[in-house]
Structures are given as C-alpha cells and as structure tokens.
Structure 1
Amino acid sequence: MSQTLSHRLDGRVALITGAARGMGAAHARTLATLGAHLVLADLDQGELDSVAKGLREDLGAEVVTVAGDITAPEASERLLDAVTSEWDRLDVVVHNAGIVHDFTTLADTTSIDLQPYLDVNVLAPFDITGAAVPHLRRSHAPRVIFISSQWGQVPDGHSYGYMVSKAAQLGLMKALAQELVADRILVNAIAPGAVHTRMIPDHYYATEVAAVPLGRVAEPNEIAATVAFLASDGAGFITGQTIPVNGGALIVGI
C-alpha cells in the first residue's frame, strides 16, 4: 500500500543549540516554517531574542530561548526544564553548537587545548541527549541530529581540536544510534563542508571555493534543509548515518 510522507513538523518540539546565528538560526527558521515549536539555546541572550523575534513576527512561531553555556554544570537540566515548562513533549534535538577552529599543528597543540572542543562538540551533546531521552521516548517520531563536519571524516591537516572532536562526535552519534534504536529514537549526523557563516574567516572561502567541485561553499539554509529532512517522517528508516553536504568535496578527496 502506498503512503504519502509529509515533511511537515506541525506541533513537534525541537531543541536547537547554537541557535543565535549562522546555521543554528537557519535550522530554527526552516523548522519553524514547517510548523515546529522551538527551544533555542546559545550564549548570547540578545542574539537569541533577535532570532526569536523574527520567527514570531514572520512565521507566528512559538519560541522559547535559553541563554547560557551548554558545557556548564546543570546546562542539560536547564534546557530540558525550558522544554517541559512550555510543552510536555520533545521530538527533535539538533546539536548545532560549535566553536571556531584555530589552524594549529601538533607542535602548537597540547592536550589541554583539545578540551574546549571536546566539551562543546562531544561531552555537552552526550549530556543533553541523556537528559532528552526520557522525553524523546514519548514522541512518535523522535530524532537526534548532530551537525558535524566533513573534517571529522577527512582531516585537512590542521586544527587538532576541531578535527578530533568532530570525529569523536561521529563516533558518539553511532554509539547513540545503536543503543537508542530500541526506543525508536533515530540518531544521525550531517557533515557539511565549508558553510558561509561568521565562524570561518573570509580569506578561507577563496581556498574552499577553488577546491569544491560545485564551485562555491554552502549557504546555511542548505544545511538546514537536510536537518528538516532528517527531522521529518520521510527519514523514518534512517539512523546511524552521516549525511555529507559538501558540494562534492569528498569525491575529490578534500
């Protein structure tokens, strides 16, 4: 029997970290356009308020904001309290928060330098997912989505903190997918190449554009479209996967 699958997310609740700008703000707008209610987390309350105001005015979206450091003690509890105080459900968690990678070599890096990257990209998502699971179990379409990086798959020879933590993030995604499939919680990752955001210095784009087969870097809304798909019913048989969104970069080995 044929079945029509909808990519609408009407009434579903999505938690997005790193949502104040760039890709996170794009994820928020895309999911809100599809009908999702949002809990947006980031460090800067002012930027969060600006994103939330735009979503409310433009789309009539229901949005809650939580400002703070996701690596802080009790951060996951604060986020889930924000969800449950507004809605008695959680359907989608998008681990988008990240920190800019500095271009360092082994000689310039110590193990201490790696810790902030691991805290943001691996340990905080681990804690947040753990806190979210009891709520996700009650959803009819629970999703956990990591925004990773192509440099977690194929290192470019620099920035150990960024590359090691993104590779570890993909390992965490697979481990969670393996365990949580018993609860029907689907866990996947997106691995963008370079994306036109403030995280990447302007001079870096020239190098990336020359290397990418499609001849440009991605726009944030192109990554957000993949987030929306993974959050939707159309992705109901996908788990434990890393979806590359890189303009063909991996086919030429970058």
Structure 2
Amino acid sequence: MGYPTTHRLDERVALVTGAARGMGAAHARTLAALGARLVLTDLDQDELDAVANELRDDRHAEVVAIAADITDADAPERLVGAAMSTWDRLDILVHNAGIMHDFKTLADTTSAALQPYLAVNVLAPFDITRAAVPHLRRSDSPRVIFISSQWGQVPDGHSYGYMVSKAAQLGMMKALAQELVADQILVNAIAPGAVHTRMVPDHFLETEVAAVPLGRLAEPPEIASAVAFLASDGASFITGQTIPVNGGALLVGI
C-alpha cells in the first residue's frame, strides 16, 4: 500500500504494545514501511521475535523487541528506556495491547472482574504515557495513539470489563489531549469495530459480519492505516479525537 509523502516517519521512534500478532503486528509492519524505528512489546518473546525478524528482513527496519507484561510496575521505564538507550528519542506511542470480551451479564460480573481490563486497557497506557511524556516533549512530531473500540463509544450489552475500560480509555485520551496540547503532543484514538484477529471468538464473528453494513470485518492493516495517518505530519492539526473504523456499524447502532 502506498502512502503520501506527508505520511513518512523516517528516523522517528515508535513504541507499540501488543505487537506480536493481529492489529499490533499490523501497526508495526505499517510503521516500519513508513521508515519508523520500533520498540515492540508483548507477552510472548518468541512471537515478538518473529515479527521483529520479519521487519528486519523485509523492511530493513531497526527494531527492539522486549517481552513484558505492561501491567508490571517496571514496564513503563523498561519500554521507554529501551527507546532512549537505543536511539535517544521517542516520538510515537501506540497503545494497542488489550483484553477482549468476556460476554458476562451484570449478575455474573463483580467489580473484581473489572480490574484486569482496567489494568491493561487504562492504567498501563496511562503509566507508559506518563513515563514517555518528558521524552515526547523533545520530539518535533510527538504522538500518542490509543487503539480503543466502537464498544467504548456505544456499548453492546454484555462484557462490562471490556466496554467500561474502553470508554474510560477514550475519556483518558481526551484528558491527556487537553493537558499535553501545551507541549504540542497530539493525543488521539482509533475506535475499530470487529477486526479479523485471533482475539475475536468465532460465534462473535458470525453475528458481527451479518450486522456490519459493509458486510465484512476489518482486516488489521485497515486499522494500521489509520494509525499511520495519526502518526504522520498529515494529522498535525488533529488532537483529542476518536476516529471510527467500523464499516458503518455505528450508522445502524451496533
């Protein structure tokens, strides 16, 4: 896929969480194709290394791959520190890591069950952003990009942990955008609908395909294209916004 010259990210350094497969791997491939250097993280070092080696071989990309649980207390400094110790700069955060639906009703959901969703989808991105901001201030094109969800905008019944955390993520994005605009750090979100990845259960895929006006699910590179835009100079006057990528799903209220 070709991109305008305003989308080039040469020399810029991007940190992508949840990068070992699915959307995260697609974001990494797209950013590498545009010239970015990458710090990639996920739980599984072998899967992460496979993506990193692919990018080195196919894109001649500069990549650091670090297995980490982003909810660990030391993860933000480890990940941000890897960018700084390797390239002495950090320009782009892509908060992609997330926990998917559990499809439980209110009666079957406790407040304790919400904690893992909040930890991964809200608190970890907050802590990583907090660690990164002093370095983002030095960038000439700093970006923070959240991969949220259409279900953070319009809840779809069950799965309280996922939907509550994704809605909180969008609120946090707006708060960060308001504060960090003084430093010219642009903070935005992408809200995909159902995407064809291993995270989405088969029975959910079947119902979603039938409901999406375009008649199919998104493929990970289609979400990555929106990431590329928000990371680029082409989005230099956009902050505090949520870009829906859902095949028209919100037009029919799903």
Q: What TM-score do the two structures reach when normalised by structure 2?
A: 0.98
Paired AA for residue 205 in structure 1:
L
Which residue is equivalent to 1:100?
A: 100
Which secondary structure does the structure 1 equivalent of 2:64 belong to?
A: strand
The answer for the alignment partner of 1:219 in structure 2 is 219
C-alpha separation between the residues in 2 aligned to 1:215 and 1:140? 40
The 8 Å contact of residues 5 and 233 in structure 1, kept in 2 or not, is answered as: no
Q: In the alignment, which residue of structure 2 is the partner of 1:21?
A: 21
Superposed CA offset, 1:40-89 (max 9, x none): 01000000000000000001000001111000111101111111111111
The share of aligned pairs that are identical, in percent, is 80
Take 2:190 and 2:80, find their aligned partners in 1: how far apart are those partners? 23
Matched with 1:247 is 247
TM-score, structure 1 normalization: 0.98
2: CA distance between counterparts of 1:117 and 1:84?
29
- 1:204 offset after TM fit, Å? 1.3
Q: What is the aligned partner in structure 2 of residue 90 from structure 1?
A: 90
* Cα deviations by residue, 1:194-213 (Å, 9 ceiling, x for unpaired): 00000001221111111000
For structure 1, the residue ranges without an aligned partner over 5 or more in a row are: none
Structure 1 residues 126-205: aligned runs within 5 Å? 126-205=126-205
Structure 2 counterpart SS, 1:57: helix
Shift of 1:5: 6.1
Find runs of 4+ consecutive structure 1 residues off by over 2 angstroms. Answer: none
* Distance in 1 between residues matched to 2:80 and 2:68, nearest whole Å: 13
Structure 1 partner of 2:58: 58
Partners of 1:145 and 1:198 in 2: how far apart? 22
Q: Give the Cα–Cα distance (whole angstroms) in 2 for the partners of residues 162 and 63 of structure 1.
A: 30
Q: Could you give the per-residue CA deviations for residues 151-192 of structure 1, whole angstroms, max 9, x where no partner exists?
A: 000000010000000000000000000000000000000000
The number of residue pairs the alignment matches comes to: 251
Letter in 1 for 2:212: V
Aligned residue number for residue 49 of structure 1: 49
Q: What is the root-mean-square deviation in Å for CA atoms of aligned residues? A: 0.8
Please state how far the C-alpha of 1:102 moved relative to its aligned partner: 0.6
1:108 positional shift? 0.3
